[in-house]
Homo-oligomer: A and B are copies of this chain.
Amino acid sequence: MKKIGIGLLGLGTVGQGVANIISDPNGRHPLVGELELVGVAVKNLQKERNVSFPHSILTSNPIEIVNNPNIQIVVEVMGGIEPAKSLIIQAIRAGKSVVTANKAVIARHGEEIANEAKAAGVYVLIEAAVGGGIPIIEPLKQSLGGNQITKVSGIINGTTNYILSRMDKEGVNYAEVLKDAQELGYAESDPAADVEGSDAADKIAILSGLAFGGAINRADIPTTGINHLEAIDVNYARKLGYGIKLLAISERDNTQTECESSQPLSVWVEPTLVPEENPLAGVNGVNNAILVEGNPIGQVMFFGPGAGSGPTASAVVADILNIAGIQSMSVDKVLNLDPLLSAKSWKSCHVAEEREITKKNYIRLIAEDTPGVIGQIGGIFGQKKISIESIVQFDATNNEAEIVVITHNIKQGQLQDALLDIKNLPQVKKIAATMGCL
């Protein structure tokens, strides 16, 4: 068998991890031994590098990788939207399959890229884009295809999970843990994409498209990060038997009728109270976990390291091997694409109105510490037909009471209407926090 030529776009930690695996096939699947690193594009050729391959294959011109006839699979691990996106498309048009870890590009331009790939008859595989080393893309595409998927949810951002785990364990403030996390390298110096939830939104957009068979508009996903989360809510949640996790959720609207032309999906990212007995509650630190629910499988969970050089490289190589395996099936004939791996859309989906999202909610109010205030709040929820699981008044000081409400499953539209009325109650000073609740 002729070796399969691999070209890397980028040689950061993930790129180096991939190069390390390819240059040390011992103890891995024998197909790893059939891969050959042919070219590596880097920004700066002069930089000192301790690498496992000859320096002669380095280039500062990524177009050389994309057009090299000895390269069959282009691996994009440079990150960022451009030039990554253009290079991916050029590689596809040059007839090469592409493996990418670039969730930002796939979440925004996945459909365009999938159409290019289909036209060129090549694969674009993205296992490393979600969940780091955790196999989740391929199981969704291949192993769960017999199911009617109803919901995909999970902890898919390691940085925020690390911060939340420490806030919970140590009772400290968000800002304090963030600073620590930055010093330890668990958070970027500009942490916005992680802590504001945009990274998680990218990833749930990707998972959603695979689970439900049609791409959604990434920009439509209501997204709340953890950057405004207060230690007091972590504390109250724990007292009520919950941990707080930044969850990304995509759920099929069960009221949809078969004849609707596009499937509405409730998709959102939000700090969420998770009961202690839920499998997601035990997922701490930089770990990720993704729950998939469907019929007839019930519920399966995939858990593991959500980031890092090694795990992400493991996912990239998984994709390379899949393509290499298929290429080895026929040496002299162009094959049709495997419909599972190519993962083209098979229906139209869209993000439903935020008011239509149905979930449990946690609400913290600051009110005057006077008799009857709980009754009034409860009355408004009742008028809006919102069923309440619990109302608890926590420590009151300075004539102020903190009131925590947990609702049953309700539409967000109902909640928004009720909160407007509650805000207007003279005894209510502030709606201090709202979050989801499982």
Contacts and interface: CB of A to CB of B under 8 A. Distances in A.
Contact of A146 (B26, B29, B305): B29
Nearest to A342: B325
Interface string A300-338: 111111001111011111101110011011110101111
A329 B318 contact: no
A314 B144 contact: yes
A142 B95 CA distance: 23
Contacts of A318: 142-146
Nearest to A147: B314
A83 interface: no
Nearest to A127: B143
Query: Which bracket fits the contact residues of A?
Result: 35 or more
By secondary structure, the A interface counts as: mixed
Contacts of A296: 17, 20-21, 133, 309-311, 313-314
Contacts of A294: 314
A300 B304 CA distance: 4
A145 B28 contact: yes
Contacts of A295: 310
B314 A340 contact: no
Nearest to A33: B346
Which of A143, A144, A300 lies at the interface centre, i.e. has the most chain B CB atoms within 10 A of its CB? A143
A12 interface: no
A338 B321 CA distance: 10
A258 interface: yes
Interface string A120-148: 00000001000001110011001111111
A244 to B, nearest CB: 18
Contacts of A297: 133, 304-305, 310-311, 314
A106 to B, nearest CB: 18
Nearest to A140: B135
A32 interface: yes
A304 B309 contact: no
A282 interface: yes
Nearest to A21: B146
A408 to B, nearest CB: 25
A371 interface: no
A317 B340 CA distance: 13
A379 B82 CA distance: 68
Interface string A1-40: 0000000000000000100110000111111100000000
> 10 closest A-B pairs (Cβ-Cβ)?
A296-B310, A146-B317, A300-B304, A135-B143, A29-B145, A27-B148, A301-B303, A297-B314, A325-B340, A135-B139
